[in-house]
Structure 1
């Protein structure tokens, strides 16, 4: 662990401090965002691409005054559960009034650097089991837990004791991953980082630098590409965005180091190249991104799918990116919205139809908080 932390600290001081997840300085004469890769014929056939140009309209500010918000999970009644990275708490936000009610503090959270209480997700059987899942950094590792949410108890005491379902994900000052989401198959997908130890991404025995696929109990999910392994894809640097399209295809965002941030279409068992490749590569063994950006334009965290496009929140880039899709490829150049208007953008979650929930991340130590930060926005997209 000392070696991992030392490596993470070295990488942080080498210039990986301006994003959240390791995006560092500029890319010299590198061009701006561009789509990459060639679609397979089966991906093009029978699928209509959305318009090349879209739009974003901010409908309202749902809530203000949030402390280091990271994960967001909509409840069945429309209210929102939001995790605080540094406070280690989960709050419930009333969708109509913005009123915040603390469920409780998650025991064992050890916030430092990019670590803390990160992603949250509801059980696919939430209506009957009332389980809330969370990804957090402990004193020794990153782990996934589940907790009973009892609304009948007093505020601050509504979270049951955490049941750890998966542990041993490497932790570091940087690159802790943290996004969790249940897929259409009701399996739990987990985006992890390599904690600054780049060799972990190519080591399929390590859960670092991977997308993991687990049962709700934390076991390797049936049908995973490697026998008895939780690893779904590997060769990642730091995955903080997971989303599925209407045909149940998985997409993931990934922080680059100095040159290219990525949006990837995830294929089970594929190698996404890090640390040998950052962005598009000529190596046939590596799966190329469908779109890439210079690190100052993106530093991507959460993503969501709506209206035929992937919408990607940019931290250092301070903008919301639209990537229109045809199959598993970008059908037009990515388009940026809200550039610099709300500062750093962390999480984007479908809110139904053409609407998204969008959170800012200006109180995370790397932004410039203004009055009301951090906040949740409701936006309409097309």
Structure 2
């Protein structure tokens, strides 16, 4: 695997993180842990409170949209919070780690009112996931087209992150649905990063003709971000139990195999990629990730309960935000860093104000 950009510089972070924390492995998205490292300025403003298990953040100019796992989209505009209903052809199944997850506004949103969404549903007693196109009319979102259905799902490992790349393609992460072998099955949509056109078609330059699969061998990826060079990175949850931890940051290249469940951590197998960073036996459960204008990578963590910043220029790991509980997503917009807490997901310890959308000063 190439070691450039972010990758080569932060390999040493593994040793730093392992030395700074002593904690048992997580179970799935993890419970309560207390990670302490040198802290930089983490003052912030609260933009919204009492969000209901929020999952993703997107922006239309100064207007912010946040998806909630029970099946709503919250619009935050001029300090006013409006909870907008979502009507999908198949009801959202909000259970376990599933529900209304990834959400991304279409590039022509101001004209079309369109957005892309990923949600869990129950089909004859079996949990699955689907990717749909929504349209906003007034204060209600309605499904206007289904792109993909029957993506394997379960109470755990549904993936769910959606992002539009600099190539104007739609990228979607899927989990292995608790069945690791599916991540290595090229015919299954589980445990993959998928790539589609904005019309829901298979791009002509995808690695395999006629297939949405862009990469395979993922356990439960919940973060996608591009740096200024157009290089794609993802975050991923490592194994539960013993050994646990081994949460990853991967540099994503078309057609590559990222190893799950055959390898993780520093294990090697021909034809499979190593992560550019993994957390050793410490579980941090990374979710949303984002680059800033200096190509520093922010990582929101659930079990870790911190917002980290990876600084590739000197291979250092710093805590940007701590003490706010579980963190689900982070975005950098117009030079500001936004993060949502995720304390109302059944695994956190919510305050009366949770969950909250924060913007760092």
Global fold match (TM > 0.5): yes
Does structure 2 conserve the Cα–Cα contact (< 8 Å) formed by 1:310 and 1:324? yes
Q: Structure 1 stretches (4+) deviating beyond 6 angstroms?
A: none
Partner of 1:315: 302
Does residue 270 in structure 1 map to residue 251 in structure 2?
Answer: no
Moved more, 167-176 or 218-227: 218-227
Partner of 2:56: 71
Partner of 1:42: none
Unaligned runs of 5+ in 1: 1-14, 27-31, 34-52
Q: How much has 1:335 moved relative to structure 2?
A: 2.5
Q: Structure 2 CA distance, aligned partners of 1:333 and 1:17?
A: 24
Does structure 1 conserve the Cα–Cα contact (< 8 Å) formed by 2:57 and 2:64? yes
Partner of 2:272: 286
Does residue 298 in structure 1 map to residue 271 in structure 2?
Answer: no
Partner of 2:219: 237
Partner of 1:377: 358
Does residue 93 in structure 1 map to residue 76 in structure 2?
Answer: yes
Compared with structure 1, are the counterparts of its residues 362 and 54 closer, same or farther at alpha carbon in structure 2 (3 Å cutoff)? closer
Partner of 1:62: 47
Q: Structure 1 CA distance, aligned partners of 2:228 and 2:41?
A: 20
Does residue 136 in structure 1 map to residue 123 in structure 2?
Answer: no
Q: How much has 1:19 moved relative to structure 2?
A: 4.6
Partner of 1:175: 157
Q: How does 1:81-230 map to 2 (within 5 A)?
A: 81-85=65-69, 87-94=70-77, 96-97=78-79, 99-107=80-88, 108-140=91-123, 141-150=128-137, 153=138, 155=139, 158-230=140-212
Q: How much has 1:185 moved relative to structure 2?
A: 0.9
Q: Structure 2 CA distance, aligned partners of 1:337 and 1:296?
A: 19
Q: How does 1:3-14 map to 2 (within 5 A)?
A: none
Per-residue CA deviations over 1:179-232 (Å, capped at 9, x if unaligned) read 001111111000110000110100111110000000112221221111111111
Q: Structure 1 CA distance, aligned partners of 2:87 and 2:155?
A: 20
Compared with structure 1, are the counterparts of its residues 58 and 18 closer, same or farther at alpha carbon in structure 2 (3 Å cutoff)? farther
Unaligned runs of 5+ in 2: 1-23
Q: What is the TM-score when the length of structure 2 is the normalising length?
A: 0.84
Does residue 255 in structure 1 map to residue 268 in structure 2?
Answer: no
Does structure 2 conserve the Cα–Cα contact (< 8 Å) formed by 1:295 and 1:317? no
Per-residue CA deviations over 1:278-321 (Å, capped at 9, x if unaligned) read 22222232111111114654101100011221100000000111
Give secondary structure in 1 for the equivalent of 2:43: strand
Q: Structure 1 CA distance, aligned partners of 2:96 and 2:26?
A: 10
Q: Structure 2 CA distance, aligned partners of 1:294 and 1:232?
A: 27
Does structure 1 conserve the Cα–Cα contact (< 8 Å) formed by 2:132 and 2:146? yes
Q: What is the TM-score when the length of structure 1 is the normalising length?
A: 0.80
> What's the C-alpha RMSD, in Å, of the aligned pairs?
2.3
Does residue 358 in structure 1 map to residue 346 in structure 2?
Answer: no
- Greater strand fraction, Structure 1 or Structure 2: 2
Compared with structure 1, are the counterparts of its residues 295 and 64 closer, same or farther at alpha carbon in structure 2 (3 Å cutoff)? farther
Q: How much has 1:55 moved relative to structure 2?
A: 4.3
Per-residue CA deviations over 1:48-68 (Å, capped at 9, x if unaligned) read xxxxx9945333111111011
Q: How much has 1:344 moved relative to structure 2?
A: 0.2
Does structure 2 conserve the Cα–Cα contact (< 8 Å) formed by 1:89 and 1:106? no
Does structure 1 conserve the Cα–Cα contact (< 8 Å) formed by 2:25 and 2:245? no
Q: Structure 2 CA distance, aligned partners of 1:135 and 1:295?
A: 31
